[in-house]
Amino acid sequence: MLCDQTSACMNSVFVSDTRLEAHLEQVHARWQALRASIDLQARSGRVQAEMDPDAFDRMMTAASRAKSGGQRVLWLHRAADVVAGAVSRAKASACTKGCDHCCHIPVTVSRAEAVHLAAVSGKRMATAPAHAVRVSQELEQLQGDGYLEGTGRGRWEHHIGEACPFLSHGECTVWAARPLACRYHYSIDKDNLLCQLLPDKQAVEVPQLNVLAFTAMSWRILGLNQEAADIRDWFSDEA
């Protein structure tokens, strides 16, 4: 079912109780198969082979030299699009239009990106978002042992199951301006089985393309001392 971000629809994003046991068996079998194969390494390798590092470096250099936060965001988006092109050519991701599981997990957005989203969308942005931290703190958590990559968990896990405020009828309404967290989020499995959310916010590891270095580079360019918060806290109804 496709729906707007209402409380009546929110429960539909989780695997139903009637399907849960069978679903967990499928999840276990999938990870057994993945660990016994070289599929994930092969998909990552294909992406690397399709990358244009010179183009990526040019975009990152332009971002670092940009005079304003908005310009930096735009150049970083172009750098991320270089990676997107490589993923597409490598046919390495399960992500497809209409699949919105990742629109119901935490999405980290820096202040510079939130300002850009507000300008593009016309949506009111919080001046002091709830649960905000410094970008440097979020980067430390991403790089630390306490972060389980691919689950969408971490500092803002209370937002798991809550629709992104820019999701409407299963589609992103700010696709061209979507933040870096979305641009760098790729499941490299063969389908979205492991992306499906479990009741009680149970964690399932999702095999993701390792883009932590790209994220770290981008955040350093945008500024490690600025605030970061979940997209729902930047653009809540109470903002």
| CA neighbor of 204 nearest in space, from 38, 36, 29, 28 | 28
Residue 157 pLDDT class (50, 70, 90 cuts):
confident
pLDDT, position 38: 95
Between CA 185 and CA 169 the distance in angstroms is 20
Q: Of 12-26, 49-63, 141-155, 220-234, which gets the smallest average pLDDT?
A: 141-155
- In the block, residue with structure tokens 């970083």: 76
State how far Cα 14 lies from the chain centre.
18
Say how far apart CA 28 and CA 85 lie, in whole Å: 31
DSSP one-letter code for 125: -
The whole-angstrom distance between residue 171's C-alpha and the CA centroid of its chain comes to 15
- Rounded CA-CA distance 153/150 in Å is 8
Neighbours of 44 (CB within 10 A): 18
The residues, ordered by sequence, that sit 6+ positions from 83 with a Cβ below 8 Å of its Cβ are 47, 51, 56, 183, 184, 211, 214
pTM of the model: 0.89
Which tokens hold the place of 229?
């918060």
pLDDT at 151 over 60: no
